Chains A and B, each alone.
Chain A
Amino acid sequence: MIFPFLKTLFLSLRRGPATRRYPRVVRTPFPGTRGHLVNDAGKCIFCGVCARRCPAGALVVTRTPAHWTLDPYRCIVCGYCVEVCPKKSLRMEPWHRRESGGARGQG
């Protein structure tokens, strides 16, 4: 039963590898992908609804001083905060956050 595989072999030769040479070739996410969370600070009223609703406790919001902080390591990128934000200042960007750290701690 090698024949079904021969067909696959020829097709694969024609199609080339299914993998990419990351990091030289980076996969483009689909539009609408939840990659990472962005806050448009100009619109934010620091009401703290997002922080109260966040299932992972990744957001900390204080009114005075006006601070909005996201812990990217806790964030599960579910997008619930985007939904509940009354001023629509939060949005999801399709690209994933780049890896931080590295040998010399370059973010």
Chain B
Amino acid sequence: MNNATTSTPRRTVIPFGPQHPVLPEPLHLRLVLEDEKVVEAQPAVGYIHRGIEKLAEVKDFQQNVFLLEHVCGICSFIHALAYCQGIEELMGVEVPARARYLRVVWSELNRLHSHLLWLGLLADAFGFESLFMQIWRARERVLDLEEQTAGARIMLSTCTIGGVRRDLSAEQVGQVLRGLDELEREFDMFVPVVIKDATVKERLCGVGVLTQRQAQELGAVGPVARASGIARDLRVTGYAAYGELGVNPVIETDGDCYARTLVRVRELYQSLLLLRKALRHMPDSPIAVAVKGKPEGEVVMRVEQPRGEVMYYLKANGTATLERVRVRTPTFANLPALLAILPGCELADVPVITLSIDPCVSCTER
């Protein structure tokens, strides 16, 4: 602990992270406290920078699909998807219908496992160990489904420029649908605990309130914005097959940690619905088209990740390597919101509030 002697002697500065039991990610917050109340939070990121953007300027544009997938260990497929969609737009590639549906399938599996991971960590943060274990058992089923369909648990590597790299047989579709039914039964067991349990509500309700105005002004994205009543979900724009499947953003209006939890819990069911729809209505077509030539020009591609909107800026010059790849991840957009809601809260609530924006620091630093 670090006692700083500032102008007001009662102020204490406490480092939260970079190693903290509640968060596997190296997020460092310098918390300025008055007694037990937080007056200011200063973020310090930069512990896990890997230089992926720079490396993406060296590798060729096909190899980048696999590289950029490693930006995030949770929504890996969606990063590859954003990049591929960007390159496809530059090269004018029309993706076959079946590939677009399969992209939705893997995106939603990513979303399911990200939200379950987050719910588990949240349960762990407020000390509900057994709930944490139940939720992560359900998450394990999602990972199994990913391995069954894509051949890997985390780094799916199934997205490619012009389509996808793997197809699902009718048998596999049946397996996934059965897996989703089992998953729903598991959800029905732990979701009532998450949303109704008095101890859980005690830790979440009214904690870390982000008003709609604040969310709008600070540019919050994803579940953080949606929990404050902003209907901002990029899946509504209809990329991949979301246009055909139809997505209604999940909105809550309270803006506290409980609302953010509710948004993610409801999105679990929404993902199940989308997955079932996509698997049942998957058209028959090739899964990829051959891509000829090299990309040229600039493009901005935005897609919805479990944590919110990710933005890819790609600049190509007609050669195999790209001139610039820039990634703006949802956590980067949500950090200002976090810093706005931390002042005024109790020190004991800091882990739960920090977790409620679902920070992914390794994506943010890339």
Q: Which segment of B17-25, B145-153, B254-262, B289-297 sits at the interface? A: B145-153
Interface size on A, residues (CB 8 A): 23
- How long is the Cα–Cα vector from A90 to B192 in the complex, in angstroms? 49
CB distance from B307 to the nearest CB of A (A): 23
Q: Which segment of B43-51, B62-70, B208-216, B298-306 sits at the interface? A: B62-70
Q: Is the CB of B193 within 8 A of A4?
A: yes
- How long is the Cα–Cα vector from A1 to B195 in the complex, in angstroms? 10
B-facing residues in A22-67 (Cβ within 8 Å)? 29-30, 32-34, 53-56
A-facing residues in B100-127 (Cβ within 8 Å)? none
Instruction: Answer yes or no: A85 CB below 8 A from chain B CBs.
Output: no
Task: Report chain B residues within 8 Å CB of A7.
Answer: 189
Given contacts A53-B63, A83-B165, contact A33 B189 (CB under 8 A): no
Q: Which residue of A lies closest to B188 (CB)?
A: A4
Interface size on B, residues (CB 8 A): 29
Task: Report chain B residues within 8 Å CB of A1.
Answer: 192-193, 196-198
Task: Report chain A residues within 8 Å CB of B66.
Answer: 55-56, 76, 78, 80
Specify which of A4, A29, A30, A53 is in contact with B62 (CB 8 Å cutoff).
A53
Instruction: Answer yes or no: B155 CB below 8 A from chain A CBs.
Output: yes
Instruction: Answer yes or no: B137 CB below 8 A from chain A CBs.
Output: yes
Given contacts A8-B134, A76-B155, contact A33 B63 (CB under 8 A): no
Instruction: Answer yes or no: A13 CB below 8 A from chain B CBs.
Output: no
A-facing residues in B180-216 (Cβ within 8 Å)? 189-190, 192-193, 196-198
Task: Report chain B residues within 8 Å CB of A73.
Answer: none
CB distance from A49 to the nearest CB of B (A): 12
Instruction: Answer yes or no: A18 CB below 8 A from chain B CBs.
Output: yes
Q: Which residue of A lies closest to B136 (CB)?
A: A18
Specify which of A4, A55, A80 is in contact with B192 (CB 8 Å cutoff).
A4
Instruction: Answer yes or no: B346 CB below 8 A from chain A CBs.
Output: no
Q: Is the CB of B197 within 8 A of A32?
A: no
Specify which of B70, B140, B152 is in contact with A18 (CB 8 Å cutoff).
B140
Q: Is the CB of B63 within 8 A of A55?
A: yes
Query: Interface readout for A64-76 with B: 1 if CB under 8 Å, 0 if not?
Result: 0000000000001
- How long is the Cα–Cα vector from A80 to B165 in the complex, in angstroms? 10
Q: Which residue of B lies closest to A9 (CB)?
A: B130
CB distance from A40 to the nearest CB of B (A): 19
Q: Which residue of A lies closest to B67 (CB)?
A: A55
Task: Report chain B residues within 8 Å CB of A77.
Answer: 152, 155, 157
Q: Is the CB of B190 within 8 A of A78?
A: no
Q: Is the CB of B155 within 8 A of A30?
A: no
Instruction: Answer yes or no: B53 CB below 8 A from chain A CBs.
Output: no
Q: Is the CB of B147 within 8 A of A29?
A: yes
Q: Is the CB of A55 within 8 A of B59?
A: yes
- How long is the Cα–Cα vector from A5 to B200 in the complex, in angstroms? 13
A-facing residues in B133-186 (Cβ within 8 Å)? 134, 137, 140, 144, 147-148, 151-152, 155, 157, 165-166
- How long is the Cα–Cα vector from A80 to B60 in the complex, in angstroms? 13
Q: Which residue of A lies closest to B63 (CB)?
A: A55
- How long is the Cα–Cα vector from A4 to B140 in the complex, in angstroms? 21
A-facing residues in B56-91 (Cβ within 8 Å)? 59, 62-67, 70
CB distance from A87 to the nearest CB of B (A): 20
Q: Is the CB of B151 within 8 A of A76?
A: no
Q: Which interface residue of B131, B151, B190, B192 has the most chain A CB atoms within 10 A? A: B151
Q: Which residue of A lies closest to B157 (CB)?
A: A78
| A-B contact sample (15 more), CB < 8 A, given A1-B197, A78-B157 | A1-B198, A4-B193, A5-B131, A5-B193, A30-B148, A33-B151, A55-B63, A55-B66, A76-B155, A76-B157, A77-B155, A77-B157, A78-B155, A83-B165, A92-B151
Query: A residues bordering B, Cβ < 8 Å?
Result: 1, 4-5, 7-8, 11, 18, 29-30, 32-34, 53-56, 76-80, 83, 92
| A-B pairs with lowest CB-CB distance, top 6 | A55-B63, A55-B66, A78-B157, A34-B151, A1-B197, A78-B66
Can you name 13 A-B residue pairings with CB atoms under 8 Å? A1-B193, A1-B196, A4-B196, A5-B131, A8-B134, A8-B189, A11-B189, A18-B140, A53-B63, A55-B64, A55-B66, A76-B157, A79-B165
